[in-house]
Structure 1
Amino acid sequence: MMILDAIFKILCAMSALLFVNKLIFDGISRVKSKVTSTGNTWFLLILDAAYMPLQFCILIFGIYRIAHLFEYQFIMNNIDHGYQVSMLMVMSSFLLRFKQNIEHVLDEEKEYLFTKFDPALVTLFSQIIKVTIIFCVVAIALYIVGIPFQSLMMLQGAVTIALGVSAQNVLGNGFGGIMILLYKPFEIGDLISSPDKKIEGYVEEIRWDRTRIMNLDRRPLSIPNSMFNQIIIVNASKMRNRHLVQNINLSYKNIDKVDAITTQIQAMLKSHDGIDTKLAASAHLVEFGAQSLRIHVSAFTKTVKTSVFYQVQQDVCIQIAQIIKNNEAEIVLVTNVL
């Protein structure tokens, strides 16, 4: 009779558990449909994050109450600790799901929001929040099961020392990522290069530990952030102008036409739509070479985009060639004499 009575109580408890579970989630579904029509995004995020953890919460509570039907000493000694740890895990699950839902909203609205917030900084804070939640849950769970707080602090100190010795590269990469996000030597979409290393391409992603760069020949590079603290970085996307330089070799028989040619080239540069006239633009004879006269042409374009820069450079070169032709001068091909 005692066994039948226990089975009957368990069945009654499970039936009540399922009934309460259905009532709660029917209520959540109705509330969710009403909130959707109002457009309250934050409340929807909370409801969605709480849906699965609440199911586990009801299940854990039911198991906890059913376990009290049995008066075994082992169960009675451990059920409270197990219940508290389980509820703690449910709470952490809710927080992590809520964080993930916020990330999804930010990703959907990134074209608007990331004009105000750096996406790499958002990712970094997301990782920090995740690690903090997990660390706090583990620490509280260990404390619940009876490990003293002082022991946790000693364990934390030992782990910190171990990490400092065995994971210097990881910590260095993390510190490098923080420096990149704070000082912003480059951002996502920038064209960067390094004269120290064979690095040149567009920044596609900045993580807390490494940065992904798409090379100019479309090869992805994954670079540890600690490396950026040790090398020189040239950020072409931060330039306001690009330097256009051409060296032209004229025949010595055209030396009497050099002054007219350089004057006309300077006038062309000052009137060209693609050249920034606020900056110096020049064309001068700079060297008497072994085989030719060398004219140095220098100017700064208004654009920094590579494709537009090449178009401006091409047009300038064609006009220079036309000026030389109009003056009946000749461009000399310089060859190396062995």
Structure 2
Amino acid sequence: MSIDELILRFEQSPYLKDWDNSVLLITLASFLAWGIWRLAYRYLFNLTEKTRIHWDDLLLHSLKTPISTLIWCWPGTISLGLLLDDHFQTKFNWLQNSKKLMLIAIFVWILLRLVGEVERHLLVQRVHDETTVQAVSKVVRLLFIMTGLLSIMQAFGLSLKGLLTFGGVGGLVVGLAAKDLLSNFFGGLMIYFDRPFKVGDWIRSPDRQIEGTVERIGWRMTIIRTFDKRPLYVPNSVFSNIVVENPSRMLNRRIHETIGLRYQDADKMERVINDVRDMLQNHPDIDAEQTLIVNFNSFGASSLDFFIYTFTKTINWIRFHEVKQDVLLKVMAIVRQHGADVAFPTRTLMIDPGRQSPQPDQVLRGSVAETR
């Protein structure tokens, strides 16, 4: 078969009798449009890479997949309608509604992808608070989804006025039936707006057995990882009724220790205290601008006690203990430099020399008498 005969048969094909409704031409046009979009995307991508603004990159990336999907699905819907009309000899009106639904879905999809790209960009930059960024992104996503659902309902002929009126009455019923769920939802909003803690903070509550690192703040519950690596799922409504302490936001960590000297070192107490105070004021890891106290405090049962009250510059738990260890070792060295020593529990037995001691045979007879 020659090429001329192939062209003649192709021209006589029933699909090309009405070329504007031809499935074949629609498919070829879709492929051509997709190729043009790919070339345009590559050109725009190279163009946006040269700019210093990141927002054009985020917008272009959010358009990539939805536009490609629209290029193939929209002509596919038209082709499906032509095939169904040809086989069943009837009009399918639902295809028109499906096109409207597709446009709304693609538009909402683009917006959701754009919100996700912006959220990831802000989290990577670490300029804004992580919890605030996540909260705003969730609210914006919810707003776009609700707008898309209302647009779909209106496209199908539903009255928004009646829907909103029904929603007011239905919302009251749903609110009474799901008050715990709503309380957790609004508790999550209060956490986002008041920001008593954020993801990564170490929190604890003196009212409940809650202590650990915040892993995730959801709409219904907050996930806290305890220090023994167990997950703790706390409903958000709980945080509106308890006291929450956030040690991660402390400015300093406190060293408060009591040290006792022996009573025979009483004449060296003042010099030891002065040297310890000078050491703390010149220590590179001690915040001398905060309260710093080193004073003789009390007469103990077996020691003369003085106390140290100061604050470290670091708030890191591990580093704090390293600084505290260094301070205590230096205090011990200062005590020994002055010939003194740290006291330990002792007891002194006083014997009256004027009292006659019992003779050994009297003690022996008394012991025998007691045994009898």
What interval of TM-score do these two structures reach, taking the shorter chain for normalisation?
0.7 to 0.9
1:96 paired residue number: 109
Partner of 2:242: 231
Greater shift, 163-172 or 262-271, is seen at 163-172
- 1:36 aligned to 2:51? no
The answer for the alignment partner of 2:73 in structure 1 is: 56
Does residue 314 (structure 1) correspond to residue 325 (structure 2)? The answer is yes
Structure 1 residue corresponding to 2:183, chosen from 172, 177, 187? 172
Partner residue, 1:161: 172
Equivalent residues of 1:96, 1:130 under 8 A apart? no
User: CA distance change for structure 1 residues 181 and 145 in 2, over 3 Å: closer, same or farther?
Assistant: closer
**Which protein has greater RCO, CA pairs closer than 8 Å, 6+ apart?**
1
CA distance in 2, matches of 1:243, 1:32: 58
Question: Residues 85 and 121 (structure 1 numbering): CA distance in 2 closer, same or farther, change over 3 Å?
Answer: farther
Counterpart check, 1:128 vs 2:139: yes
In structure 1, what is the Cα distance between the partners aligned to 2:119 and 2:158?
39
Instruction: Please state how far the C-alpha of 1:31 moved relative to its aligned partner.
Output: 0.9
- Do the aligned partners of residues 104 and 306 (structure 1) sit closer, same or farther apart at CA in structure 2, a change above 3 Å counting? same
1:70 shift after superposition: 7.5
- Where in structure 2 are the equivalents of 1:276-287 lying within 5 Å? 276-287=287-298
Residues 249 and 334 in structure 1, CA contact (< 8 A), matched pair in contact too: no
Question: What are the equivalent positions in structure 2 for 1:213-232 lying under 5 Å apart?
Answer: 213-232=224-243
How far 1:292 sits from its partner (Å)?
A: 2.9
1:326 match: 337
Measured at CA, do residues 215 and 245 of structure 1 come closer, stay the same or move farther in structure 2, by a change above 3 Å?
same
**Cα distance in structure 2, aligned partners of 1:170 and 1:251:** 63
Unaligned runs of 5+ in 1: none
Alignment TM-score, normalising by the size of structure 1: 0.82
SS at match of 1:278: coil
Q: Is the 8 A contact 2:62 2:117 kept in 1?
A: no
The structure-2 alpha-carbon separation of the partners of 1:160 and 1:54, relative to structure 1 and needing over 3 Å to count, comes to farther
Q: Percent identity?
A: 24
Deviation at 1:296, TM superposition (A): 1.5
Q: 2: CA distance between counterparts of 1:321 and 1:48?
A: 68
RMSD of aligned Cα (Å) = 3.2
CA contact (8 A) 2:104 2:148 kept: no
Residue type matched to 2:22 in 1? A
Counterparts of 2:178 and 2:88 in 1: how far apart (Å)? 49
Contact 2:112 2:144 (C-alpha < 8 Å) held by counterparts: no
Deviations 1:288-309 (A, max 9, x none): 2333332211111111111221
Alpha-carbon spacing, 1:70–1:153, altered in 2? closer, same or farther (3 Å): farther
1:245 is displaced (CA, Å) by: 0.7
Whichever residue aligns with residue 152 of structure 1, its letter is L
Q: 1:150 Cα deviation (Å)?
A: 4.1
| CA gap 1:131/1:184 in 2 versus in 1, 3 angstroms | closer
Q: After superposition, where does 1:291-302 map in structure 2 within 5 Å?
A: 291-302=302-313
2:93 paired residue number? 80
- TM-score after normalising by structure 2: 0.76
Which of 269, 279, 284 is matched with 1:258 structurally? 269
Distance 1:108 1:162, change over 3 A: same
**Letter in structure 1 aligned against 2:68:** Y
Aligned to 1:182: 193
**Structure 1 residues 99 and 14, CA, compared in 2 at 3 Å: closer, same or farther?**
same
Counterpart for residue 203 of structure 2: 192
Who is 1:212 aligned against?
223
Counterpart amino acid of 2:183? G
Does residue 110 (structure 1) correspond to residue 119 (structure 2)? The answer is no
Unaligned 5+ residue runs, structure 2?
Answer: 1-13, 49-55, 347-372
- Tell me whether 157-166 or 132-141 shows the greater mean CA deviation: 132-141
Which protein shows a greater Rg?
2
The whole-number CA distance in structure 1 between the counterparts of 2:231 and 2:273 is 45
